Homo-oligomer: A and B are copies of this chain.
Amino acid sequence: MTMNKVPTIKEIAKQLKISVSTVSRALHDHPSIGLRTKTRVQELAKELGYEPNQTAIFFKQRKTFTIGVILPYLIEDFFAGAISGIEEIAMQHKYNVLIGQSQDNVEREKEILTAMKNQRVDGIIVSLSKHTKNLDHFTALEKYGIPVVFFDRVPASNDYNKVAFNMPQGTHQAITYLMEKGHRRIGIINGPEEMKSSKERTDTYMEVMQKKRLKIDLTLVAYCDLTREGTAEAMESLLSLKQPPTAVLAINDYVALDAIQYCKSKKIKNNKDIFFVSYANLPITNYLESPPMASIEQYPKKQGMKAADILMELLESPEDQRPAPQNCLIDGELVIHGR
């Protein structure tokens, strides 16, 4: 470690026998500084390899040009896509990105939030932990003037800025597509019943059925814990109905694949005896012999970018008069998997 002393404006001022404020202004191209001194300062700065100490600037300016992102798991495809989009937008606006994984643990979520607040991040983007009910720790941020944008796992209230997948639209597309293919008994495999998306999916399903004047059979709606075994159980319950479904809408591609494997073990052929549509549109489906017949792309990166856009807008408007909460839905797109 060579560890030469890191140069400061004070050092430059001393060497040039001028004041620190002149140096500061010269470095910022302030109009009131003479060309002569300005160049002298800038040259010495370069020579010494001067770089401003941002921690001092953050402290003084009460602005850190940093946003915090809290989400359950960085490793999940959806969140990895989202964070990638967030970072891209943030960097365009010269903002830094601080990350934290809640691991679906409310306590961890709070800890991370506190750390970010104390670090005075300028804003926060969150996808809530699965078990977060109470939002007090987020509303407490108002006192610090730190705006929050929720995405994907968002609170129900419209009083918050939020970006989420348009479940009614996506689900509507999926069901309509299956109807067009002639299916009348359509099963659902949701995630856990507590998940907001489960309810949304079911509600939309019922609406569509109602509009088409088809009778609604709630035994066609199953729930699973997203594990392989849980999915098998859900699928089993659907298959054991007196009138089993001819098609199934599954919460995501992995669940669909597990369900398909379960069917196979029961000698029920995918895309022949039964059909699947799921959400996510993972790239892997292109390599499968027998994929879900279609999958709804949810554009994770786009969701992240949109959340970051909203936050940037908030940060760029004067704090005392920020735009009203935005509630943004990102449309899905049904991608048919070529035979």
Contacts and interface: CB of A to CB of B under 8 A. Distances in A.
Contacts of A115: 54, 96
Contacts of A80: 74-75, 77, 80
Contact of A117 (B1, B51, B100, B140): B51
Interface stretch (A19-27, A84-92, A162-170): A84-92
A88 B101 contact: yes
Contacts of A62: 55
- Interface size grouping (class) on chain A: 35 or more
A77 B78 CA distance: 11
A248 B269 CA distance: 32
A192 interface: no
Interface in A56-70: 56, 58-59, 62, 64, 66
A135 interface: no
B54 A118 contact: yes
A11 to B, nearest CB: 14
Contacts of A52: 118
Contacts of A64: 55
Interface string A135-147: 0000010111100
A189 to B, nearest CB: 16
A146 to B, nearest CB: 10
A155 interface: no
Nearest to A73: B84
Contacts of A120: 53-55
A114 interface: yes
A232 interface: no
B91 A84 contact: no
A305 interface: no
Contacts of A118: 51-54
Interface string A144-184: 11000000000000000000000000000000000000000
5 contacts: A3-B145, A4-B143, A73-B84, A98-B98, A260-B287
Interface of A: 1-4, 6, 49, 51-56, 58-59, 62, 64, 66, 73-75, 77, 80-81, 83-84, 87-88, 91, 96-101, 108, 112, 114-115, 117-120, 140, 142-145, 257, 260-261, 282, 284, 287-290, 301, 319-320, 322
